[in-house]
């Protein structure tokens, strides 16, 4: 029998030749080991929550994302399957690689590139590194501020900005002046910025564009990059070690039954599997639980970052200028801050981060962000401009105290999956990239010296991480974020953080603990002040669906809801009376709502508009009873971010 990779290629070509051309279609080429294939996907529609009314009649253009095209499972035979048919009874195709990486972000791509650099230097061109990314194309699900510290990229690709490098990254704007402001409702008060926030020598970038560029560099050195493949299951060997992952099935209807487009998922087996899914990844949380990786660390704590990209009037553009702010509009007991970065040609990145340990269920991070733009500091820059992009994602804030064990039998956690963001520095990309490189080096050393028998444990990665600049800088700032858990809230945290930044510099003999997990921190609605948010003006502030239309998000409607709630009525009974629709307010995409329904005991019906989801993971983190489980939808679906 030919090897799996050859069988997959043969099946792919056979299907591509036989498949009728869909109408209408967008043709997209995907490259994987020299394979080129045509693919298309049906258009999904944004679901307008019944509580949202548009400010304009314009709707977003349809966005198409490619479905994966490697499975060779015949589909038509299942079109008329009876109700007892179980897709799991169909054997999955499999492929064997040396290293499998889950997630095409900076951590995963840096690991992949470093692997192939080492293998190529050793003359081992056959060393297979495969990367799976759930987005339809690299960078489509990536969002960050972003000011990047070049430490890791300078090491990985030293000529990444060199003028004589035809493949250099051209989207880096050198950081210019730094401003730090404390906001009241109408005032902007200058405050000293901690030394960790000094951006001299850094660059403002679109992480979306940077990730695409890294993907091209990965393919150049021989990494097999598969966008549009959503890894949905961790596979385990008989000895309990991780042996790889499986991608999800396609063509399953909302009723859980296969349609005539059914395709069984694929298995990818590897000696080493690295999880670089970003914040609160669906597979990463499984391996953390399976191997009890948090046994010696505190629980992770999170925040929600909401971002827009604006094209501003040329006279208001100040290339390279960096502004950070704290204070208004957030309440004094809510940790968070905002930014405004001028980059590229007349582009401004603006956003706000709200810690998800906030207590008031009436608070809406999206509403707070809309209020922020009304402040004179931001309004005077944005007014007269045009919003061209929107997005949101959860990010890790636990820092040093919350780093789990990163290695386990058969694999490791890298990047945000390991929680390596430096919150006071407001940066994590350099740490994510370096962790991927360290994991690659440890895995290469383990694989080149071991036989093909038995599982691999990356002891060297655990050790090298602790000796790296990542560990040093996170330990130095370990007390700043938890210092905001005092009765003085924002003001007490600012005072203590100033003491740490300018005097103690991480030398304090104590390590502060974080507060309770984010979902536990939420108080009942009747114990909190109800917050009201102004109606959007459609020019500077926008209703939530108008913003979601700018994400390009797309999900096929007839598929199982990837936001899993076992019992919707039970969820309503346990959550709505106490928190009065918390989910509708913490979600930045209008996914959750409670619709008036007199036939229900609580007078409302819980509804999930899954096609709006922009994969921020907030629901999985903040749901009070932890009964919402975010899982990957079909590969290639979700947002298609631009310049984020």
Q: Is 587 a catalytic residue?
A: yes
Q: Is 177 a catalytic residue?
A: no
The single residue of 69, 100, 279, 613 carrying the catalytic annotation is 613
d(CA 490, CA 333): 6
The single residue of 15, 68, 264, 393 carrying the catalytic annotation is 393
Q: Is 619 a catalytic residue?
A: yes
Q: Is 585 a catalytic residue?
A: no
Nearest by Cα to 274 from 115, 37, 158: 115
Cβ neighbour number for residue 228 with a 10 Å cutoff = 27
The values of phi and psi at residue 470, to 5°, are: -60, -50
Nearest by Cα to 146 from 350, 335, 319: 350
The single residue of 144, 211, 241, 553 carrying the catalytic annotation is 144
Q: What residues does 233 pair with on adjacent strands?
A: 246
- CA 86, 91, 92, 97 dihedral sign is positive
Q: What residues does 391 pair with on adjacent strands?
A: 307
Torsion on CA atoms 478, 483, 484, 489, rounded to nearest 10: -170
- 3-state DSSP helix/strand/coil % of the chain, to nearest 5: 30, 20, 50
Q: Are 75 and 49 in contact (CB under 8 A)?
A: no
The single residue of 429, 435, 483, 644 carrying the catalytic annotation is 429
The single residue of 100, 279, 387, 619 carrying the catalytic annotation is 619
C-alpha to C-alpha distances, 549 to 206, 311, 525, 537, 591, nearest whole angstrom? 20, 17, 30, 17, 13
Q: Is 60 a catalytic residue?
A: no
Q: Is 56 a catalytic residue?
A: no
d(CA 435, CA 210): 18
Q: Are 391 and 143 in contact (CB under 8 A)?
A: yes
Q: Is 429 a catalytic residue?
A: yes
HEC secondary structure over 328-394: CCCCCCCCEEEEEEEECCCEEEEEEEEECCCCCCCCCHHHHHHHHCCCHHHHHHHCCCEEEEEEEEE
Residue 403's SS3 state is coil
The single residue of 69, 387, 616, 644 carrying the catalytic annotation is 616
Catalytic residues: 144, 393, 429, 587, 613, 616, 619
């Amino acid at each position: 029998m030919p090897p799996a990779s050859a069988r997959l290629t043969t099946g792919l070509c056979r299907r591509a030749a036989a498949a009728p051309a869909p109408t209408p279609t967008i043709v997209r080429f995907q490259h994987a080991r020299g394979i080129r294939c045509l693919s298309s996907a049906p258009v999904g529609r944004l679901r307008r929550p019944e509580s949202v009314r548009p400010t304009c009649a314009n709707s977003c253009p349809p966005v198409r994302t490619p479905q994966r095209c490697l499975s060779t499972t015949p589909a038509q035979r299942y079109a008329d399957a009876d109700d007892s048919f179980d897709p799991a009874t169909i054997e999955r195709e499999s492929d064997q690689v040396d290293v499998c990486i889950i997630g095409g972000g900076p951590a995963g791509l840096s690991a992949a590139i470093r692997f192939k650099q080492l293998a190529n230097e050793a003359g081992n061109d056959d060393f297979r590194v495969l990367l799976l990314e759930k987005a339809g194309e690299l960078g489509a699900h990536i969002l960050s501020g972003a000011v990047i510290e070049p430490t890791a990229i300078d090491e990985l690709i030293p000529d990444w900005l060199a003028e004589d490098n035809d493949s250099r990254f051209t989207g880096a704007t050198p950081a210019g002046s730094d401003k730090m402001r404390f906001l009241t409702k109408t005032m902007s008060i200058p405050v000293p910025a901690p030394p960790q926030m000094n951006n001299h020598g850094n660059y403002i970038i679109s992480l979306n564009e940077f990730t695409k560029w890294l993907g091209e560099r990965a393919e150049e050195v021989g990494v097999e990059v598969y966008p549009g493949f959503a890894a949905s299951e961790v596979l385990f060997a008989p000895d309990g070690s991780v042996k790889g992952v499986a991608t999800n099935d396609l063509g399953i209807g909302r009723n859980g039954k296969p349609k005539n487009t059914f395709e069984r998922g694929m298995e990818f087996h590897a000696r080493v599997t690295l999880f670089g899914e970003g914040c609160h990844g669906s597979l990463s949380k499984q391996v953390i639980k399976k191997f009890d990786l948090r046994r010696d660390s505190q629980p992770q704590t999170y925040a929600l970052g909401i971002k827009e990209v604006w094209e501003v009037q040329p006279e208001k553009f100040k290339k390279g200028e960096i502004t950070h702010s704290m204070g208004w509009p957030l309440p004094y007991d809510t940790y968070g801050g905002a930014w405004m970065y001028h980059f590229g040609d007349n582009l401004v990145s603006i956003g706000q981060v709200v810690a998800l340990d906030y207590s008031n269920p009436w608070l809406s991070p999206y509403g707070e962000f809309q209020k922020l733009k009304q402040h004179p500091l931001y309004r005077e820059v944005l007014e007269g401009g045009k919003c061209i992009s929107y997005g949101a994602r959860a990010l890790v804030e636990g820092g040093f105290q919350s780093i789990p064990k990163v290695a386990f039998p058969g694999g490791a956690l890298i990047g945000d999956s390991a929680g390596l963001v430096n919150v006071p520095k407001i940066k994590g990309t350099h740490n994510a990239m370096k962790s991927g490189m360290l994991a690659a080096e440890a895995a290469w050393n383990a694989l080149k010296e071991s036989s093909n028998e038995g599982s691999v444990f990356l002891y060297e990665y655990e050790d090298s991480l602790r000796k790296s600049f990542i560990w040093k800088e996170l330990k130095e700032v370990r007390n700043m974020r938890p210092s905001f858990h005092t009765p003085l809230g924002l003001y007490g945290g600012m005072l203590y953080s100033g003491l740490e930044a300018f005097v103690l510099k991480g030398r304090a003999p104590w390590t502060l603990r974080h507060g309770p997990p984010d979902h536990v921190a939420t108080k009942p609605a009747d114990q909190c002040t109800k917050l009201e948010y102004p109606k959007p003006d459609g020019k500077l502030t926008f209703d939530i669906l108008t913003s979601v239309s700018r994400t390009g998000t797309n999900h096929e409607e007839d598929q199982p809801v990837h936001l899993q709630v076992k019992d919707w009525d039970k969820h309503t009974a346990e959550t709505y009376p106490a928190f009065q629709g918390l989910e509708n307010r913490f979600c930045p995409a209008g996914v959750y709502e409670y619709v008036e329904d007199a036939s229900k005991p609580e007078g409302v019906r819980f509804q999930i508009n899954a096609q709006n989801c922009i994969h921020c993971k907030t629901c999985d983190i903040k749901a009070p009873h932890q009964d919402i489980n975010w899982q990957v939808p079909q590969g290639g679906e979700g947002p298609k971010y631009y310049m984020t």
